[in-house]
Amino acid sequence: MTPGIMVNRPDLSDDAVLQSIAERNAMTGRSDLDPQTVLSAAMSGDPDAREIVDGLVLPPPVAPLSMHQQPLLREARSFLPRIVPFAWARRGEV
């Protein structure tokens, strides 16, 4: 298992996860903990290390997001009945 998969972000590199652990340690006053040690312990199943890793603030995704195709506006309005007449001529010019 890679560190990115462990935090449910397979697009993240190992360095990004380690940087997030270091930032979390600095924010909580645990700067004496080595990020690599915390990561190794979390991957081994240590509950305290997993708690640290589960609370990480991760960078935004860099992988492209998959988007479904949306119909064009003209295609979306095709539900209107075709029997509705559209008269562009002015009154009396028919």
Cβ contact 63:9 at 8 Å: no
Q: CA torsion 10→22→53→65, rounded to 10°?
A: -30
Residue 21 lies in a domain: yes
Domain count, the chain: 1
Provide the whole-model pTM.
Answer: 0.62
pLDDT at residue 21 above 90? Answer: yes
pLDDT digits 0-9 by tens, 56-87: 999 888 767 677 777 666 655 555 555 555 55
Cβ contact 43:35 at 8 Å: no
pLDDT at residue number 77:
54
pLDDT digits 0-9 by tens, 37-61: 999 999 999 999 999 999 899 988 8
Residue 70 lies in a domain: no
Domain residues for the domain of 31 are: 3-54
Residue 20 lies in a domain: yes
Give the separation between CA 54 and CA 17, rounded to whole angstroms: 11
**Confidence band for 94, pLDDT divided at 50, 70 and 90:** low
Residue 44 lies in a domain: yes
